[in-house]
Structure 1
Amino acid sequence: MSESAYRVETTSRLAQWRIENLASCTYRKSDPFKIGKWNWHLSVEKNRTLFIKLFPEISNSTRENPPIASFIIRVVSSVGDRKCLVHPEVTDKQLKSNEDFIWAIEVPLTGKFIIDVEFLDLKIAPPDGSGPCSIWAEGFTKAQSNATALTSLGRMLSESIHTDIVINASDGSITAHRAVLASRSPVFRSMFSHDLKEKEMSAINISDMSLEACQAFLNYIYGNIRNEEFLAHRLALLQAADKYDISDLKEACHESLLEDIDTKNVLERLQNASLYQLPKLKSSCMRYLVKFGKIYDIRDDFNSFLQGADRELIAEVLNEILAAWKGF
């Protein structure tokens, strides 16, 4: 049998498999064909009844995130009077295996025929548990539209397009937009909604941040921050996130500060964890100091810490040390 007997012809959303001859009591499975993100197969089995199956190629990807398909499938017989059998439209059918869609055809078909599958939509279920979304819609609406919007928002800041508020940092000033700041921070929104000096003077004084750190803060708010910029100013960004109640920035700083604890920064991070109520960071710093014994590598710094740190935090560290000694 020629290789073409198993080949499925495709366009972007249409697949056609031409069957030249299917003898009785015969099974045949097509070669894989690509539609959307998945490779697919068609199979036919003829006994007294003709069974047609459509299914994705089985892999870890299809098991974990199977396609949810909407399609119309037809069988067109090209012998004698042209017959076209159409299965009722299939809508949002999850297909994991070769048993999930089976079409049993009782009408006898002989000779040449075509199996025609028109995919109306293909969806996947997002990992966040929200409703299925189309793979053909998400490309533009989520990726391209969001990227364009963020680029435009970043340009508004970098090119000072219609700015209406001045941010005074410790060593310089930068202009921004009230509406953007208010949409990201309830603290800023309150400033601009009430008769406070910030509203009257069209200026905000952030004297505890350098101009570079303030620029990084605004770049984050506008969705335009670079990774190296974020890493360089994490502690200043953490302070600003706490002060202006921007929870996603605070959590981003929290997660990042967990990643590179070492002897040079552990005591500073421990104090910040206590100050800004970051439980995972505090726990990680405690374990690093006590369980892993790094407290002995920084005795001079630890002695300075004992002289100047918050009393409650010192007590917590000493309790951890005592608990560790009892464990030996």
Structure 2
Amino acid sequence: MTDSGYQVKTTSRLAQWSIDNLLPSTYRKSDPFMIGNWNWYLSVEKKRTIFIKLYPETSNLTKDSPPIASFIIRIISFAGDRRSLAHPEVTDRKLKNIGDFVWVIELPLTSKFIIDLEFLDLKISSPVSNENEPFSIWADGLRQKQSNKFALTSLGRMLSENIQSDVEIRVSNGILQAHRAVLASRSPFFNKLFLKEINQSSTINIPNVSIESFRVFLNYIYGNIQSDQEFKTNRLSLLAAAQMFEVEDLKDACHESLMEDIDANNVLERLENASLYGLSELKCSCLQYLVKFGKIFDIRDEFNDFLQSGNRELIMEIFDSVLVAWNGF
């Protein structure tokens, strides 16, 4: 067996380990793979039954604050037709030692199969906090911190309380108050717009943007996003605003966030947005999820609809990726 036979492919929250010809009385342990804050291992042992284990690498972090994992794990077998066998969804399982998660499989697996592992969440308990409630490492206010890095907390009050506002923004279905200096400093679009003005106007018309989308955009540039969930809920409209108003840090934050939770329900929409806004890493991750990790087989109905209405060039990219994957299989 070559070294590549121990390598685990990963993207976002998904990991896959390909196993060839698992003989009786065989034990294999994967190479370490990083998801979240931890290096992980998968192991498979074949006796009369098959034992699959998932556990984190031994470290000070694992010892002091072991991961609390929610995940889906399944076997994809290539014996005859492609078949899958899924373990019941695991929720909030503390994984510290090698035996904390063991999946016993009674069915024989003789030919090539893939261990498919998708993390739904990873939580950790703070070793320095008196609170025992664990928190998700993927919902830790990161976007809010990124937003606040570029705008002082006091700017939020300026926006919400209309303190010394000096410009009125008329959008498609309403009016919002803002500050020329803040808009110009955070957005090259507005800076160029204001520089072109001969006489400073107190009103700016942006007819192709809704008041809901522009309000969320203002909240971001003023450092007034209240939670990570608020950011995630509005990240597609924020992405559109970032593109229109040339706010690169917002576009980068949306790009990074959209890569974190790709799944079967959103991968096609993410792929279209990646193509529309030129997000190359997101596009690559979506194509890997669909093709390299074989998830295209799990969304056949949705993909057939996509073939009817999707962007032709994007569809060709997907088929090119399929052909490359098949040639390398």
Q: TM-score normalized by structure 1?
A: 0.51
Matched, 1:214 2:219: no
Shift of 1:313: 1.3
Shift of 1:170: 3.7
The residue number in structure 1 matching 2:57 is none
Unaligned segments of structure 1, at least 5 residues = 1-59, 61-145
Shift of 1:263: 1.3
5 Å-filtered alignment, 1:114-133, equals none
Shift of 1:300: 2.1
The residue number in structure 2 matching 1:178 is 180
Shift of 1:229: 1.6
How far apart in 2 are the matches of 1:195 and 1:172? Answer: 23
The residue number in structure 1 matching 2:255 is 254
The residue number in structure 1 matching 2:155 is 153
Render the CA deviation track for 1:172-212: whole Å, top value 9, x for unaligned: 32111111000111110111111389x54612315333x33
Q: Are the structure 2 counterparts of residues 196 and 275 from structure 1 closer, same or farther at C-alpha, using a change threshold of 3 Å? A: farther
The residue number in structure 2 matching 1:241 is 242
Matched, 1:266 2:263: no
5 Å-filtered alignment, 1:57-136, equals none
The residue number in structure 2 matching 1:162 is 164
Shift of 1:306: 1.8
Structure whose CA Rg is larger: 1
The residue number in structure 2 matching 1:321 is 322
The alignment yields a C-alpha RMSD, in angstroms, of 2.4
| Structure possessing the higher relative contact order (Cα contacts under 8 Å, 6 or more residues apart) | 2
Question: Matched residue of 2:304: which SS?
Answer: helix
The residue number in structure 1 matching 2:28 is none
Shift of 1:261: 0.6
CA contact (8 A) 2:168 2:202 kept: no
CA contact (8 A) 1:295 1:302 kept: yes
How far apart in 2 are the matches of 1:249 and 1:157? Answer: 18
Q: TM-score normalized by structure 2?
A: 0.51
How far apart in 1 are the matches of 2:274 and 2:242? Answer: 14
Amino acid at match of 2:218: L
| Greater CA drift, 309-318 or 262-271 | 309-318
Matched-pair identity in %: 58
Question: Matched residue of 1:168: which SS?
Answer: strand
The residue number in structure 2 matching 1:191 is 193
CA contact (8 A) 1:219 1:225 kept: yes
Question: Matched residue of 2:260: which SS?
Answer: coil
The residue number in structure 1 matching 2:284 is 283
Question: Matched residue of 2:152: which SS?
Answer: helix
Unaligned segments of structure 2, at least 5 residues = 1-59, 61-147
